[in-house]
A and B are shown apart, each in its own frame.
Chain A
Amino acid sequence: TFSPSEGTPYLTINHDVAADLDSTNAFEGPEKLLEVWFAPSAKALPAGVKEGGLKAVNPDSWTPMLDLVHCKVLSIINSENVDAYLLSE
């Protein structure tokens, strides 16, 4: 079992989604970009917010939201200050 040391980014691949992905019908290049801030910085989370803020949310919790968007999680890089989700479509 691979146990990354603290602070080292590590990658998790969702093989169930990544294995048979077909993007034949993708056609539109330009993306839509949404950025939502809930606090001025990671060090200034309001009282009552869980430690780690949004990063403390279980990754599975984002799945229903991403279903509405029509994206699926292919893989995730977890790191100390940001988690990067690579998505289908």
Chain B
Amino acid sequence: MNAFRFLGDMTHLFSVLVLLLKIYATKSCSGVSRKTQELYMVVFVARYMDLFTDYISLYNSVMKVVFITSSAAIVWCMRRHPQVRRTYDRDQDTFRHVVLVAASFVLALIFNERFTFREICWAFSIYLEAVAILPQLVLLQRSRNVDNLTGQYVLFLGAYRAFYILNWIYRYFTEGHTSRWIPWIAGLVQTALYADFFYYYFLSWKNNVKLELPA
């Protein structure tokens, strides 16, 4: 475990806590894409199947449980919670996320480390996570008013994989030059998708104006 990875995990955890805070404190999920949350739940379930079979460390197992339960809780809130579900922008959150699931699955069948159930699920979760933010970014462009917490949620979510890229560079040079093409390429794509969001977020912060993504 190196500092970059720990920073990445904490940033990721923080993004989830910010979203939970927003939903719990404001009892509203306006501006939040339920489709992206559903995709993240699939990502975590598909990736953390080894939770019960391979014990890496207490930290690793605890974080897996936290990510799976928090993403499930957020989806549950947005679907079932009587107050929260009413604030969901159903007609704005229209991205056909099934396409993302299908494409990631096909890609995982072709590009994986081993053609085994676990490795195909793992590769699927890596590819799906790279594009899972798309429904959320589309929703942000549509909904004019991006509230601060939702903006911060997306910011931390984008930053976490950037820290992971630094972690991969660090590990490449310190742990023998093993190449991990799948997470590297997917991680770069994932972080690149946030590039314009980071840019407009920075502008809104610099000019001290509300964050607005151009349509």
A binds B: no
